[in-house]
Structure 1
Amino acid sequence: MNAINFRNSKGNMFIFFLIIFSLASCSKKIQFTNSAVVPAAQGYVKIEKDNNRNFLMEVKIINLANPQRLQPPKPIYVVWMETENTGTKNIGQLKIISSYFSNNLEGILKAVTPFKPARFFITAEQRADIQFPGMQVVLKTNTF
């Protein structure tokens, strides 16, 4: 009968938890603040740095209103990123997903950028390929 080497098992468990902790600590989750335009909307931006020193971003919003119901109505939502050195960047159109069981909309966007983000905000826009944000800011994060 072989004896179990607990000393080695404890060391392996320590290494396992150290790896899990270091992977979890590499990402940052920033909450969007409450909105006067879409009061029920809640969401976050999750940011990770990849091996190439790019920033991987995942935006997720729940309880989002249809942009065509805003005043004035717009067809889409665009996510913007403010950077420390390069100004404001359009990172893409928020993909809207609706549920069969609810009228609540969910917005999702995944993007990659070489620029270090400092703040995010979402605007309602006529087109996705614009270079400057409009005045209708729907959600925003604080500077981090």
Structure 2
Amino acid sequence: MKTLKNLIIIAIVAIMTSCASTAKFPISSTVPAAEITAKKKQDKNNNYIIELTARNLAEASRLNPPKNNYSVWVVIDNGSIKNLGQLSNKNAKKAVLETTTPYDVKEIFITAEDQGNLSYPAGLEISRTSFNE
């Protein structure tokens, strides 16, 4: 009976995990060593949890021209662009941004910006990808 219960729990976890969409960013000519992925999954309140992971991403101040931060943007189903936040990175091996949004995200992209509180991207686009559903 205990084995059956464990198998059911494992199956439920596997089903819940498989509901996430994963998108891999293409190699960027600006930061070619960076390996960037994004995951999107829906929570019980019908919001979307976005987790962006960047490995080997150079600090924004090391770009040419130097910038102050990386901003993460999404394109939602009506074509609007929304700022998800800043990706904090101080030459770390791994930088992660996890956030919740009510928008169904179709595309996600990263820009290098001089300011972090922008409502529209103005800086250098690092990389862009879309969620295939």
Q: Same fold (TM over 0.5)?
A: yes
Matched with 1:139 is 127
Q: Which runs of 4+ in 1 moved over 6 A?
A: none
Partner of 2:13: 20
Which structure has the bigger radius of gyration? 1
Gaps of 5+ in 1: 1-7, 99-103
Cα pair distance change 1:10/1:110, threshold 3 Å: closer
Q: How much does 1:88 deviate? A: 0.7
The 8 Å contact of residues 74 and 83 in structure 2, kept in 1 or not, is answered as yes
Q: CA RMSD in A?
A: 1.8
CA distance in 2, matches of 1:113, 1:87: 14
Q: For the Cα contact (< 8 Å) 1:86–1:115, is it kept in 2?
A: no
Note the residue ranges of structure 2 that are not aligned, 5 or more in a row: none
- TM-score normalized with structure 1 length: 0.82
CA deviations over 1:98-134 (Å, ceiling 9, x no partner): 4xxxxx5532211111000001110000111101112
Paired residues in the alignment total: 132
2:110 to 122, 129, 137: 122
Which moved further from structure 2: 52-61 or 14-23?
A: 14-23
Equivalent position of 1:33 in the other structure: 26
The normalised TM-score by structure 2 is 0.88
Distance 1:96 1:81 in 2: 19
